[in-house]
Amino acid sequence: MSSGSGVAESGTRQRLRAVLVDVDDTLYSTTSFARRARENSVRAMIVAGLSLPFEAVMAELDEVVREFPSNYDRHYDSLLTRLPPSACGQVNPAVVIASGVVAYHETKWRELSASDDALEVLKRLGEKRGLLLGAATSGVPVKQAEKLVRLGVLKHLDPGGIFFAEQMGYSKHNPKFYAQACRVLGFPPGECMIVGDHPVRDIDSPKRAGMVTVLYRGGGKYGDERGETVPDYTIQNFWDLLEIVERDFQVVG
């Protein structure tokens, strides 16, 4: 069930002009997907000739991922430099690395999709005249855009409502990112809603910019973290979001 601070406790429903959603661990479970993709890549590397136990390679790869940012593009190269030189035997290390990379991307092609509830709720919200749907996310812009394409959500989003923090010169820790997004949309921040899983980047920052904040608790890696501010709402799934919009807000077509 949804919970919130009671934005509309007085009985007068607040006007809502835009809903912006985060991508990772919000539209889909990035954490569980990345785990499956890395496991598949390690299995493929072993098949290609890496002669070490699966558990040992996974443990080392997990350490590499913790040490280097998610957008680092040489995780598997770094992994092999940490393993004994004899681990590849007579197989060229580049072949082992390529096998892992291909397996990761094949998992992405097969399994990267938005949750069923997110797709259906975005469809229903998109049918409401006067309500703009968009995305506010962080990461390498082209990679984040690729996710939106693969997730199949672009058809529900307004082309002018897609914001990548790095493309705008900010991080999501900076409230100015959200304030600028609202200025681009031409809407007051108080009439714009943000939905995301990170208590600081997706809640504290936009709340300081004056937006309505919705914390998504769908099982991502930040489930135990707390921010400095209280979200206006907390949801477990996108059906909760639809209930909030229809119950507490006024959408004027």
**Residue 70 near residue 82, CB atoms below 8 Å:** no
27 CA to centre of own chain: 6
Query: What CATH code is carried by the domain that includes residue 140?
Result: 3.40.50.1000
Using the structure block, give the residue that is written with the tokens 């496991």.
39
Quote the pTM value: 0.80
147 in the same domain as 50: no
129 in the same domain as 11: yes
The last residue of one of the domains, among 91, 111, 131, is: 111
Per-residue pLDDT of the chain (253 residues; tens, 9 = 90+): 455 544 444 457 899 999 999 999 999 887 788 888 899 999 999 999 999 999 999 999 999 999 987 777 899 999 999 999 899 999 999 999 999 999 998 987 787 778 899 999 999 999 999 999 999 999 889 989 999 998 999 999 999 999 999 999 999 999 999 999 999 999 999 999 999 999 999 999 999 999 999 999 976 666 677 889 999 999 999 999 999 999 999 998 6
242 in the same domain as 173: yes
86 in the same domain as 105: yes
69 in the same domain as 184: no
138 in the same domain as 49: no
Strands 162-164 and 132-137: parallel
241 in the same domain as 185: yes
154 in the same domain as 232: yes
> What's the token pair of residue 108?
């992405």
